[in-house]
Protein backbone atom coordinates (compact mmCIF):
# COMPACT_ATOMS: atom_id res chain seq x y z
CA UNK A 1 0.00 0.00 0.00
CA UNK A 2 2.74 2.43 0.99
CA UNK A 3 4.50 1.64 -2.25
CA UNK A 4 1.39 2.60 -4.21
CA UNK A 5 1.11 5.94 -2.44
CA UNK A 6 4.79 6.60 -3.10
CA UNK A 7 4.35 5.83 -6.79
CA UNK A 8 1.30 8.06 -6.96
CA UNK A 9 3.22 10.95 -5.36
CA UNK A 10 6.17 10.43 -7.67
CA UNK A 11 3.81 10.45 -10.64
CA UNK A 12 2.21 13.71 -9.45
CA UNK A 13 5.58 15.38 -8.99
CA UNK A 14 6.63 14.31 -12.48
CA UNK A 15 3.43 15.71 -13.97
CA UNK A 16 3.94 19.01 -12.18
CA UNK A 17 7.57 19.30 -13.26
CA UNK A 18 6.71 18.45 -16.82
CA UNK A 19 3.95 21.08 -16.88
CA UNK A 20 6.40 23.82 -15.90
CA UNK A 21 8.90 22.76 -18.52
CA UNK A 22 6.28 22.82 -21.23
CA UNK A 23 5.13 26.27 -20.18
CA UNK A 24 8.61 27.72 -20.30
CA UNK A 25 9.36 26.24 -23.67
CA UNK A 26 6.03 26.89 -25.37
CA UNK A 27 5.16 30.30 -24.00
CA UNK A 28 8.40 32.17 -23.56
CA UNK A 29 11.02 30.19 -25.47
CA UNK A 30 9.85 31.45 -28.87
CA UNK A 31 9.97 35.13 -27.93
CA UNK A 32 12.58 37.50 -29.38
CA UNK A 33 15.06 39.25 -27.08
CA UNK A 34 13.04 42.46 -27.35
CA UNK A 35 9.80 40.66 -26.46
CA UNK A 36 11.44 38.90 -23.51
CA UNK A 37 12.63 42.22 -22.07
CA UNK A 38 9.01 43.40 -21.81
CA UNK A 39 7.02 40.20 -21.28
CA UNK A 40 9.34 38.17 -19.05
CA UNK A 41 11.49 40.89 -17.43
CA UNK A 42 8.49 43.25 -16.95
CA UNK A 43 9.91 46.09 -19.02
CA UNK A 44 8.14 48.97 -20.75
CA UNK A 45 8.41 49.79 -24.44
CA UNK A 46 9.20 53.38 -25.42
CA UNK A 47 6.17 55.68 -25.40
CA UNK A 48 4.56 56.22 -28.84
CA UNK A 49 6.70 53.43 -30.33
CA UNK A 50 4.28 50.49 -30.34
CA UNK A 51 2.67 48.94 -33.42
CA UNK A 52 -0.86 49.05 -32.07
CA UNK A 53 -0.96 52.60 -30.74
CA UNK A 54 -3.07 53.99 -33.59
CA UNK A 55 -4.79 50.79 -34.68
CA UNK A 56 -8.57 50.94 -34.34
CA UNK A 57 -9.71 48.03 -36.53
CA UNK A 58 -12.31 45.52 -35.35
CA UNK A 59 -10.75 42.45 -33.81
CA UNK A 60 -9.24 40.81 -30.79
CA UNK A 61 -6.00 41.34 -28.90
CA UNK A 62 -4.42 38.17 -27.52
CA UNK A 63 -1.33 37.49 -25.38
CA UNK A 64 1.82 37.48 -27.56
CA UNK A 65 3.30 34.59 -25.59
CA UNK A 66 0.34 32.21 -25.20
CA UNK A 67 -2.55 33.54 -27.37
CA UNK A 68 -4.91 34.02 -24.41
CA UNK A 69 -7.66 36.49 -25.54
CA UNK A 70 -7.22 39.69 -23.48
CA UNK A 71 -8.99 42.70 -25.01
CA UNK A 72 -11.68 43.36 -27.62
CA UNK A 73 -11.14 46.19 -30.08
CA UNK A 74 -14.32 47.97 -28.93
CA UNK A 75 -12.70 48.65 -25.55
CA UNK A 76 -9.67 50.35 -27.14
CA UNK A 77 -9.64 54.13 -26.93
CA UNK A 78 -7.32 57.03 -27.72
CA UNK A 79 -5.75 58.15 -24.46
CA UNK A 80 -2.71 60.02 -25.86
CA UNK A 81 -0.58 58.39 -23.14
CA UNK A 82 1.76 56.73 -25.65
CA UNK A 83 0.61 53.14 -25.24
CA UNK A 84 -2.44 51.20 -26.45
CA UNK A 85 -5.26 51.81 -23.96
CA UNK A 86 -8.31 49.69 -23.19
CA UNK A 87 -11.11 50.50 -20.75
CA UNK A 88 -12.17 46.88 -20.34
CA UNK A 89 -10.69 43.40 -20.37
CA UNK A 90 -12.03 40.01 -21.36
CA UNK A 91 -13.36 38.42 -18.17
CA UNK A 92 -10.78 36.45 -16.16
CA UNK A 93 -8.05 37.06 -18.76
CA UNK A 94 -5.79 39.18 -16.51
CA UNK A 95 -4.28 39.10 -13.06
CA UNK A 96 -3.45 42.23 -11.09
CA UNK A 97 -0.29 42.64 -9.00
CA UNK A 98 0.60 45.54 -6.71
CA UNK A 99 3.67 47.31 -8.14
CA UNK A 100 5.56 49.81 -6.00
CA UNK A 101 8.66 50.06 -8.21
CA UNK A 102 10.18 53.42 -9.25
CA UNK A 103 8.56 55.16 -6.23
CA UNK A 104 5.09 54.81 -7.75
CA UNK A 105 2.03 52.94 -6.57
CA UNK A 106 0.72 51.12 -9.60
CA UNK A 107 -1.18 47.96 -10.43
CA UNK A 108 0.61 45.69 -12.87
CA UNK A 109 -1.47 43.55 -15.23
CA UNK A 110 -0.31 40.14 -16.43
CA UNK A 111 -1.82 37.44 -18.61
CA UNK A 112 -3.81 35.12 -16.33
CA UNK A 113 -2.67 32.09 -18.32
CA UNK A 114 1.12 32.45 -18.75
CA UNK A 115 1.71 35.36 -16.28
CA UNK A 116 3.50 37.37 -18.97
CA UNK A 117 3.74 41.12 -18.28
CA UNK A 118 1.29 43.32 -20.21
CA UNK A 119 1.42 46.75 -18.57
CA UNK A 120 -0.50 48.55 -15.82
CA UNK A 121 -4.11 49.45 -15.09
CA UNK A 122 -5.17 52.89 -13.86
CA UNK A 123 -8.49 53.78 -12.28
CA UNK A 124 -10.19 57.10 -11.68
CA UNK A 125 -8.82 59.14 -14.59
CA UNK A 126 -12.35 59.69 -16.01
CA UNK A 127 -11.14 59.14 -19.57
CA UNK A 128 -14.06 56.87 -20.48
CA UNK A 129 -17.36 55.91 -18.86
CA UNK A 130 -15.82 52.75 -17.42
CA UNK A 131 -13.15 54.91 -15.80
CA UNK A 132 -10.36 52.38 -16.39
CA UNK A 133 -7.23 52.57 -18.50
CA UNK A 134 -5.37 49.35 -19.18
CA UNK A 135 -2.06 50.75 -20.39
CA UNK A 136 -0.57 47.91 -22.44
CA UNK A 137 2.71 47.38 -24.29
CA UNK A 138 2.08 46.70 -27.99
CA UNK A 139 4.87 44.16 -27.84
CA UNK A 140 3.01 42.07 -25.22
CA UNK A 141 -0.06 41.58 -27.39
CA UNK A 142 -1.02 40.36 -30.86
CA UNK A 143 -3.94 41.69 -32.92
CA UNK A 144 -6.27 39.29 -34.70
CA UNK A 145 -8.47 41.05 -37.25
CA UNK A 146 -12.19 40.24 -37.32
CA UNK A 147 -13.07 38.49 -40.56
ZN1 LIG B 1 -0.23 34.71 -21.88
- Average pLDDT of the residues in 51-66: 97
Q: What is the mean pLDDT of residues 115-125?
A: 97
The secondary structure of 112-124 as a DSSP string is TTT--EEEEEEES
Confirm whether pTM is higher than 0.95: no
Claim to verify: residue 52 and residue 94 sit in the same structural domain = yes
* Catalytic status, residue 81: no
pLDDT of res. 19: 47
Q: What separation in Å is there between the alpha carbon of 7 and the centre of ligand 1?
A: 33
Within 8 A by CB and 6+ apart from 133, the residues are: 79, 81, 85, 86, 87, 121, 122, 123, 125, 127
Residues 69 and 18 in one domain: no
* Residue 29 CA, ligand 1 centroid: distance in Å: 13
pLDDT at 80: 95
The neighbouring-strand residues paired with 85 are 77, 135
Residue 1 has what pLDDT? Answer: 61
The backbone torsions φ and ψ at residue 16, rounded to the nearest 5 degrees and listed phi first, read: -60, -45
Q: How many domains would you assign to the chain?
A: 2
Kindly state whether residues 21 and 67 are assigned to the same domain: no
Which band of pLDDT confidence, cut at 50, 70 and 90, is reported for residue 15?
Answer: low
Amino acid sequence: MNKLIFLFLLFSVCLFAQDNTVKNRDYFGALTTEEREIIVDRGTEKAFSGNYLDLFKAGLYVCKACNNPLFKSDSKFKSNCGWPSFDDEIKNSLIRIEDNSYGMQRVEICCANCKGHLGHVFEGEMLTEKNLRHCVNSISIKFISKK
